[in-house]
Chain A
Amino acid sequence: MTMSWLWVAMLALALFCGLLNGTEDLGRAALSGAGRAVELAVGLTGSLCLWSGFGVLLERSGLRAGLARLLAPLLGRLFPTARRDPETLGALSANVTANLLGLGSAATPPGIAAVRRMRALSRSDGATDEMCRLVVLNTASIQLLPTTVAALRGSLGAAAPFDILPAVWVTSLLSVAAGLGAAALLQRLWREKK
Chain B
Amino acid sequence: MSLLIPALLLGVSALALARRADVYGALLEGGRQGLELVKSILPALVLLLAAVELLRASGAMEALTRLLSPAAELLGIPAEVLPLALIRPLSGSAALAVGADLMAAYGPDSLVGRTAAIMLGSTETTFYTISVYFAAAGVKRTRWAIPAALIADLTGFAAAAACARL
Listed in ascending order, the chain A residues whose CB lies under 8 Å from chain B are 1-3, 6-7, 10-11, 13-18, 20-21, 23, 25-26, 29-34, 36-38, 40-41, 44-45, 48-63, 101-104, 108-109, 111-112, 115-116, 118-119, 125-127, 131-132, 134-136, 138-141, 143, 145-150, 152-153, 156-159, 161, 164, 166-172, 174-180, 182-183, 186-187, 189-190, 192
Q: Which residues of A contact B48 (CB under 8 A)?
A: 37
- Looking at the complex, which one of B19, B56, B146 makes contact with A29 (CB distance below 8 Å)? B56
Q: Complex: how many Å from CA A49 to CA B133?
A: 16
Expressed in whole angstroms, the minimum distance between the Cβ of A24 and any Cβ of chain B is: 10
Interface: B41 (CB within 8 A): yes
Expressed in whole angstroms, the minimum distance between the Cβ of A80 and any Cβ of chain B is: 18
Expressed in whole angstroms, the minimum distance between the Cβ of B117 and any Cβ of chain A is: 5
Interface magnitude class on chain B: 35 or more
- Looking at the complex, which one of B28, B93, B117 makes contact with A53 (CB distance below 8 Å)? B28
Q: Complex: how many Å from CA A186 to CA B137?
A: 22
27 pairs, CB–CB < 8 Å, chain A vs chain B:
A6-B146, A10-B55, A11-B54, A13-B55, A14-B58, A14-B60, A17-B63, A23-B58, A33-B50, A34-B46, A36-B53, A38-B42, A45-B35, A45-B38, A52-B31, A61-B21, A63-B12, A109-B33, A116-B136, A139-B130, A139-B149, A145-B1, A146-B120, A148-B96, A167-B166, A170-B159, A178-B152
Q: Which residues of B contact A119 (CB under 8 A)?
A: 137-139
Q: Complex: how many Å from CA A57 to CA B29?
A: 9
Q: Which residues of A contact B146 (CB under 8 A)?
A: 2-3, 6
Q: Which residues of A contact B159 (CB under 8 A)?
A: 170-171, 174-175
* Chain B 10-22 interface 0/1 with A at a Cβ cutoff of 8 Å (1 = within): 0011011001011
Q: Choose among B125, B133, B136 the residue with the greatest number of A CB atoms under 10 Å from its CB.
A: B133
Determine the main DSSP class of A at the interface with B: helix
Q: Choose among A11, A57, A134, A190 the residue with the greatest number of B CB atoms under 10 Å from its CB.
A: A57
Q: Complex: how many Å from CA A164 to CA B38?
A: 33
- Beyond the given pairs A33-B54, A111-B133, A125-B141, 4 more chain A to chain B contacts, judged by CB atoms under 8 angstroms and listed by A's residue number, are A17-B63, A61-B19, A131-B137, A135-B129
- Looking at the complex, which one of B119, B120, B125, B138 makes contact with A125 (CB distance below 8 Å)? B138
Instruction: Evaluate contact between A60 and B16: CB separation under 8 angstroms.
Output: yes
Q: Which residues of B contact A58 (CB under 8 A)?
A: 12
Instruction: Evaluate contact between B139 and A125: CB separation under 8 angstroms.
Output: yes
Q: Which residues of B contact A49 (CB under 8 A)?
A: 30-32, 34-35
Q: Which residues of B contact A52 (CB under 8 A)?
A: 30-31, 33-34, 37
